Amino acid sequence: MTADLRQRIFAELSSLCIVDPHTHINPHAPAAGNLSELLGYHYYTELAHSAGMPKALIEEPGIDPRSKVERLVANLAPLENTIQYSWLIEILQTFADFNDQRLTPENWQQAYDTSLGRMQGHPWADHVLQTSRLQAVFLTNDFDDPLEGWDTSKYIPCLRTDDLVFHLKSPAVRDRLQAATGQSVTNRNTLTSALHALFHHFSAHQARACAISLPPDFIPTRVSAGRADIAVENLLMHGEQCSPADQRAVSHFVFWTLADFCREYDLPFDLMIGVNRGVYADGVHQGRDLYDSRVSLIQYRELFNAFPQVTFPVSVLASVTSQELASYAWIFPNVVTNGHWWYSNTPTYIEHDLAGRLEAVPQTKQIGYYSDMYKLEFALPKFNMYRRVLAKVLAERYVVDRGWSEERAVALGTTILKGNTERLFGIAPAAP
Amino acid sequence: MTADLRQRIFAELSSLCIVDPHTHINPHAPAAGNLSELLGYHYYTELAHSAGMPKALIEEPGIDPRSKVERLVANLAPLENTIQYSWLIEILQTFADFNDQRLTPENWQQAYDTSLGRMQGHPWADHVLQTSRLQAVFLTNDFDDPLEGWDTSKYIPCLRTDDLVFHLKSPAVRDRLQAATGQSVTNRNTLTSALHALFHHFSAHQARACAISLPPDFIPTRVSAGRADIAVENLLMHGEQCSPADQRAVSHFVFWTLADFCREYDLPFDLMIGVNRGVYADGVHQGRDLYDSRVSLIQYRELFNAFPQVTFPVSVLASVTSQELASYAWIFPNVVTNGHWWYSNTPTYIEHDLAGRLEAVPQTKQIGYYSDMYKLEFALPKFNMYRRVLAKVLAERYVVDRGWSEERAVALGTTILKGNTERLFGIAPAAP
Amino acid sequence: MTADLRQRIFAELSSLCIVDPHTHINPHAPAAGNLSELLGYHYYTELAHSAGMPKALIEEPGIDPRSKVERLVANLAPLENTIQYSWLIEILQTFADFNDQRLTPENWQQAYDTSLGRMQGHPWADHVLQTSRLQAVFLTNDFDDPLEGWDTSKYIPCLRTDDLVFHLKSPAVRDRLQAATGQSVTNRNTLTSALHALFHHFSAHQARACAISLPPDFIPTRVSAGRADIAVENLLMHGEQCSPADQRAVSHFVFWTLADFCREYDLPFDLMIGVNRGVYADGVHQGRDLYDSRVSLIQYRELFNAFPQVTFPVSVLASVTSQELASYAWIFPNVVTNGHWWYSNTPTYIEHDLAGRLEAVPQTKQIGYYSDMYKLEFALPKFNMYRRVLAKVLAERYVVDRGWSEERAVALGTTILKGNTERLFGIAPAAP
C-alpha cells in the first residue's frame, strides 16, 4: 500500500516555504476581496459557460458581487467532477471554515459571508501567503508598468513581452512604449533603445524574469539588420495595414532583441509555447483561447543555439509537446522544463508529463510548478494538487519501483518544487 | 487495495440499463446467426491477416460459415494477447456456456454448435439486448435507407453522411439521392432541397443524430453561395473528373448545409475525425483504414463558432487528439466528447484519455462510450471493458486520490455512461 | 499488492537467455576496458553537459581515462534522478562489487580500480554476456565493414545504410562504396550493382538485418528508372552541389533499392524513424540529435504496400508516434513494433507505449526490446529496466485486470522478449 507513503512525502513537501515563479497577481490587490473574485476566475466562468450558462448572465455589466456568485453557484453542478472545482472547495475549506464537499444554492451565502469577513480583515493577503507557505510570487507586468508601490521582494516583477513582439503595429502599443521609455521610436535603432530602456527599468526594480506566450506557428529566427530596418520602417509607416511579412520580421527582430537583452541583464526568458488566441470568439473573458498540438520545439532550434547564455524556462500546452520538452531539456544546457501549463495542468497530464521529465532531465533543470493564479488564494490548492501528484510519482516510481529511500525521494521533490526556482531565478531562500 | 473498490463500482455501473449511441447494427439482422458472424468482425479478420493469414483464405467467395470459423480459429493464437480477443471469449462465456480461456482447434466445434442453437432460438436479439442491459442502440443508416420495418425506439436511426460530403461526384450517389428524395439535383438550390428532404425523412422516422467520419486533412469552411453555385455546377457536369478545388468546395458546402439542417432539426452532429481510408490497399474488408495523428481540432474552429446551437459529439482516433478534444469541450459549449474510437478503443488509451476528460470537461458534456459494433453480442464485452476502466479511474483518481465517497463516484460514472447519452440525444430513459 | 507478483514475473523473464537485436557494439572490443568507457557513454556526457559541465572539459583531447572519470564524477550529482544514472549504478553493483547508491568523488577511485581489474581479466566480454544471459547481439556495421575477425553467431552483422541513402553525394562515401564492392559507380545500373554486392557480402557473413535511421521529413516513394537515371547522373556530376531535388530522388531510389534487396535476401529492414541530426550544434559527441514529433507512419504507406514480403521492424522516437506504430502493426502484416528507442526509452514512456502495443498488436509482431548499447555492460541494466516495466504491465493489466494466470502472462512476456526476436531475425535459440 503506497497510500501512507504518498501521504508522508506529501506532508514533507507541504512543509516547504516556496516561491511561485509565474502568476498574474495584481500587487495592489493580491488577494480576493470577496467570493466573487474567486468564482470570477476564468476556469469557473468558462466551464459554467461551456456547460450551458449564457455569457450575458456571467458578464452582465454592473452586476454586484453577491448576485454574480448566486448566479454562478446555480450553474456549478456540471463542474463538480473537474479538478478546478476541487480548488474552489479546498480554498473554502482552508480559508472560510467550509465543511461541505459542494458549493450549492443552499450553502453559498454562509460561505460568502464568512469569507468576506476574513478577506476584509486587514493583513489578509499576508495571511494567505503564510498559510500557503509562499515566500514570494512572480508577477506578470505590462512593459509600461511603473513597478512602484509594493514590496518587490514579495511580489517580484516579470517583464511580459507579448505586446512588444506581436502588437507593435498598434499605435496604442507604440505610444505606451514611448511614454514608458521617453524614447521616440522612429527606426530599428530607436526601437532597440526603447527595449533597452525597459530592461534597465525592470532590472532596476528587481525583475527576475522576462516572459512571453507564443502561438504554435511562431518560428523565431535572426533577422538581418538591413531587413529589420526595412520592416520596422514599413511597420511604423503602415501600422495595422503593415504586410504580414513585415509584421513577422518585426516580431522576429523584437523577439531576438529581447533574448539579447535577457543575456545582457542575466534574466531567464520564460517561453510559453503553443496558444492560439481568440479561437472561441464568443467565449467569456479569458475563456477563448485554445491550441493546435501540432507544434514542435524544433521551431526554437536557432534560438536555443544562438543564446547559450540565456536560460529558457519552457512551458508547453499539450502533453505531446511535453515529451519533446523533456528531450530538449535533456540535450540543451539552456532549456529548462517549467511547470504544467493551463490545458495540461490537470492531475492525469501532470502525472504523465512529470514522470517523463523526472526520469530523463537533470534534476537541476526542472522548475516543478507555478500557479498562474490571479488571486493568492489559488496557490494553495493548485500547489497541493501538484504536490499530491509529485508525491505519487516519487512514491511509486522512485521508492517502490527503484528502491529509493523516502528521504532521497523527498530531497528530489524539494529540488524540483523549491530549490530550482530559487536558484534559476536568483531568489534567496527564506530563513528556515 | 483498490481491487474490491473497483469491483463494487463496476458492479454498480453494470446494473444500469443503457443506450448505445453509435453502432453499425443491421436492424433486420441485429444479432449474429452463427459464430462465423462474430469471428467475421473485422478485428479478427484483420488481426489474423496481420499475423500472417492470407486474405484469400479469409475472404474466399462462397465459403460456408463453419469452414470459415475453422480457418480463423486455426489462426487466432497470435491474437490471444489482444483486448479484441478477450471480447470474443467473453461473448462465448456469456452467451454459449463456454468455459475455456481460448478458442482452439479442439474446442471451437462445440462452441459453434452451442451458439448456433442459441442464436436460432427466436427472440435471440432481444435476449442479447436484455442480457446486455441495452435499452436501445443507434444505427448507421445510409442516406437512402427507407427506415422501415423495425422498431425505431429500439433501433434508432442515424443519418450517416460520408457519401453526401465526399462522394457526390459519383453518379451512383447522385442517383441514389434523387431516388431517395424525388428531387432531381441540378444546382445548388436543388441539392439543398434534396438534403432538406433527407432530414425531413430521417426526422419523421425518429432519427436522433446525424454522423460523419472525416479524413485528417478536412478543414471545413463556409462557402459563399456564388462559389457553391459554380462548384456544384462543375461537379454535376464533370462528375469523377471534377477538379479537386471544386470537389472540395462541394464537400464544404454540403457539410455546412448538413450542420445547418442539424440546427433546424435539432439533431446532434457526430464528427468522427481523423481516418484515412484504404491505406493498406490489399487488406481485408474493413481492415484497410489508418490515420495520421497530425490532425487538430483547430481545423473545426470556424464550424464550432458558426453553429452554437448544434451539439457536436466529437470522436478522435488518436490519444494525442483526445487531449485537444478535452480542451475544446472544456471551452466550446457545443463540443461534447464522444467515446473512445477504434484505434484508441483499448484499455490503456481509454484510461489515459478518460481520466484527462473527467478532470477537466463538465460532467454533462461527456458521452462515455459507444460500441461501434456490427452485431449485438459485442456490446456486452465492449461496454464491460469500458466500465472496468471507468471503475478503475473513479476508484483510483476520485475515491482514493480525491477522497470522494463511493456513491458520488458511481453517480459520476452513471452520468457519463448513461445520463448524458439519454439527455444529449433526447432519449427517454427506460422505466426502472 | 502486486509487488510480489511483479517480482515473480520479473524473475521468470530474467532467467531467459536472449538475443539483443540492435546495438552499436564493436566486435573487436565489445566490453569496456575501464570505467571511462562506461562513463563516456553519450547519456552521461550529454546529461552532464546539459547540467552545466563545459564540453571542453568533457572532450579535452588526449585526456587519460582516470582523469576523465574524475571530471565526470564531479558532475554527476544533477543526474542522480535519471534512469540513465541508475543503469550505471546497476552495472557497478553487478560487475564491480559496488555497494553504494551514488558514484561520488569519495568512492569512484575504488570503483575504477575494482572494475579495471575485472575488465582486464581476459574472458571479460564473455563473462558479461553470460552474466547478462545474452546469447548474441546484433551489430551496426558500416556498409564497407569487412565483417571478419569475430564470431558472427555471437556478434551478428547488420547492414547500416544511412550513408548510402543520405550521403552518397559525398565523394568519400562513393569511394568507400567502390572500394568495398570493386564496382565503380557511374550510373543507376552500376549503383544498383554495388548495392547488390553489399547484400551479397553481408548475407555471406551471416548478417540478419538491414537498418537505417530516418529524419522526420523523409517520405519514401518509388522513383521511376528514368528519373533515377538523371538524378544519379547529376549527383555523380555535382556531388555536394547536387540540387536538393536530385539528392532526394537518389535517396528515394537507393532506399527503394535496399528494400528490394531485403526482399531478395530475406532480411528484415529496421526503420528507425524520426531523428533530426545536429540540432544542438555545440553539443558533445552523439549528444546533438533531437526530433520533431510531427511525423506520421502515413509517410511510409507506399513502402509498406510495395513490399509485402519484407518485414519492417519499426522504431519511433516519440510516444505519440508509438500509438500510430501500434495501429500500423495491427493492420499491416509486414510492420512489426521494435523496442523503445532513445528519447522514449525511459520507464514512463515504455510503460505507456508497451501497454498500448500489448493490447492491440498480435503477440507475434512485437520485438520487445533492444539495448542500443556501445558496450556490453549496458545490456543488463537496460534489459532489466525493460523487464521491470514488462513485468509491471503484465501483472497489472493481464493478471489483475484481465484475470490471466501468472504462467500465461510469463509466456506472453517470453514471446515479446525472446521468441519474436529469434523467429523474426532467424536466430536459432540457445540450448536450454
Please, what is the average pLDDT of chain A? 97
- Rounded-to-integer distance, Cα B94 and Cα B117, Å: 14
Q: B290 phi and psi, to 5 degrees?
A: -145, -155
Residues in B touching C362 (Cβ below 8 Å)? 47, 50-51, 78-79, 81-82
A283 interface with B at CB cutoff 8 Å: yes
Share of chain C above pLDDT 70, in %: 99
3-state secondary structure of C213: strand
What does the pLDDT look like over A321-341, one tens digit per residue? 999 999 999 999 999 999 999
pLDDT of residue B432 exceeding 90: no
Mean pLDDT of C251-255: 98
DSSP secondary structure of B114-146: HHHHHHTSTTHHHHHHHHTTEEEEE--B-TT--
What does the pLDDT look like over C310-336, one tens digit per residue? 999 999 999 999 999 999 999 999 999
- Rounded-to-integer distance, Cα B265 and Cα A23, Å: 46
B245 interface with A at CB cutoff 8 Å: no
Residue B112: per-residue pLDDT: 98
Q: Please tell me the number of Cα atoms within 13 Å of C167 on its side-chain side.
A: 17
Rounded (5°) CA angle C255-C259-C261: 115
- Rounded-to-integer distance, Cα B145 and Cα B141, Å: 6
- Rounded-to-integer distance, Cα C416 and Cα C355, Å: 12
- Cβ distance A327 to C291 less than 8 Å, yes or no, reads yes
Edge-to-edge strands, sheet with B155-156: B18-20, B134-138, B155-156
Residues in B touching C327 (Cβ below 8 Å)? 290-291, 343
- Cβ distance B365 to A288 less than 8 Å, yes or no, reads no
- Burial class of residue C289 in the structure, from the number of CB atoms within 10 Å of its CB (0-12 exposed, 13-18 middle, 19+ buried): buried
Residue of A nearest to B365 (CA): A51
What does the pLDDT look like over A238-252, one tens digit per residue? 999 999 999 999 999
B79 interface with C at CB cutoff 8 Å: yes
Q: Which cell numbers hold the place of B213?
A: 467520419
What does the pLDDT look like over C37-70, one tens digit per residue? 999 999 999 999 999 999 999 999 999 999 999 9
Q: Which residues pair with C286 in a beta bridge?
A: none
Mutate which of B42, B81, B277 to test chain C, going by most C C-beta atoms within 10 A? B81
A358 interface with C at CB cutoff 8 Å: yes
Q: How many residues does chain A have?
A: 432
Which A residues, 375 through 404, put their C-beta within 8 Å of a C-beta on chain C? 397, 400-402, 404
Picking from B7, B24, B11, the residue whose alpha carbon sits closest to that of residue B379 is: B24
A346 interface with B at CB cutoff 8 Å: yes
pLDDT of residue C424 exceeding 90: yes
Residue A430: per-residue pLDDT: 77
Q: Which sign does the torsion angle of CA A233, A237, A239, A243 carry?
A: negative
What does the pLDDT look like over A405-416, one tens digit per residue? 999 999 999 999
- Cβ distance C359 to B343 less than 8 Å, yes or no, reads no
| Cα-Cα end-to-end distance for chain A | 33
Q: Which sign does the torsion angle of CA B142, B143, B149, B153 carry?
A: positive
pLDDT of residue B431 exceeding 80: no
B320 interface with A at CB cutoff 8 Å: yes
For residues B121 and C381, which has the higher predicted lDDT (pLDDT)? C381
Residue of C nearest to A409 (CA): C81
What does the pLDDT look like over A358-378, one tens digit per residue? 999 999 999 999 999 999 999
Mutate which of B348, B349, B351, B389 to test chain C, going by most C C-beta atoms within 10 A? B348
The one-letter amino acid code at C421 reads: T
What does the pLDDT look like over B324-352, one tens digit per residue? 999 999 999 999 999 999 999 999 999 99
Q: B39 phi and psi, to 5 degrees?
A: -70, -15
Residue with cell 463456454: B98
Q: Which cell numbers hold the place of B63?
A: 465459403
Residue B239: per-residue pLDDT: 93
Of B298, B355, B412, the CB nearest to A292: B298
Q: Which cell numbers hold the place of A360?
A: 530523463
Of A51, A290, A294, the CB nearest to B327: A290
The one-letter amino acid code at A153 reads: S
| pLDDT band at residue C430 under the 50/70/90 scheme | confident
- Cβ distance C360 to B83 less than 8 Å, yes or no, reads yes
Q: Which cell numbers hold the place of A398?
A: 522512485
Q: How far is A152 from chain B (nearest CA, A)?
A: 34
3-state secondary structure of A156: strand
CA distances from residue A19 to A130, A411, C215 in whole angstroms, order as listed: 12, 17, 41
Q: How far is B226 from chain A (nearest CA, A)?
A: 26
- Rounded-to-integer distance, Cα A280 and Cα B333, Å: 10
- Rounded-to-integer distance, Cα C327 and Cα C342, Å: 21
Alpha-carbon dihedral of residues C120, C121, C126, C131, nearest 10 degrees? Answer: -100
Mean pLDDT of A292-299: 98
Residue C50: per-residue pLDDT: 98
Pairing of strands A290-291, A275-276: antiparallel
Of B298, B320, B355, the CB nearest to A290: B298
B281 interface with C at CB cutoff 8 Å: yes
- Rounded-to-integer distance, Cα B131 and Cα C147, Å: 65
Residues in A touching C80 (Cβ below 8 Å)? 363
Q: What is the DSSP letter of C400?
A: I
Contact C211/C22 with Cβ under 8 angstroms? yes
Report which secondary-structure segment, H or E, holds B156: strand B155-156
Residue of B nearest to A52 (CA): B333
| pLDDT band at residue A1 under the 50/70/90 scheme | low
The neighbour count for residue A245, using CB atoms within 10 Å, is: 11
Residue C431: per-residue pLDDT: 66
CB contacts < 8 A (A, B)? 109
- Rounded-to-integer distance, Cα B339 and Cα B416, Å: 10
Picking from B34, B90, B19, B38, the residue whose alpha carbon sits closest to that of residue B64 is: B34
Pairing of strands C290-291, B269-273: unpaired
Q: Which long-range contacts (CB under 8 A, 24 or more apart) does C64-67 make?
A: C65/C34, C65/C35, C65/C36, C65/C37, C66/C34, C66/C36, C66/C112
| pLDDT band at residue B124 under the 50/70/90 scheme | very high
Mean pLDDT of C126-135: 97
Backbone Cα Rg of chain B: 22
pLDDT of residue C93 exceeding 90: yes
| pLDDT band at residue A209 under the 50/70/90 scheme | very high
Q: What is the DSSP letter of A102?
A: S
Q: What is the DSSP letter of C271?
A: E
The neighbour count for residue C131, using CB atoms within 10 Å, is: 14
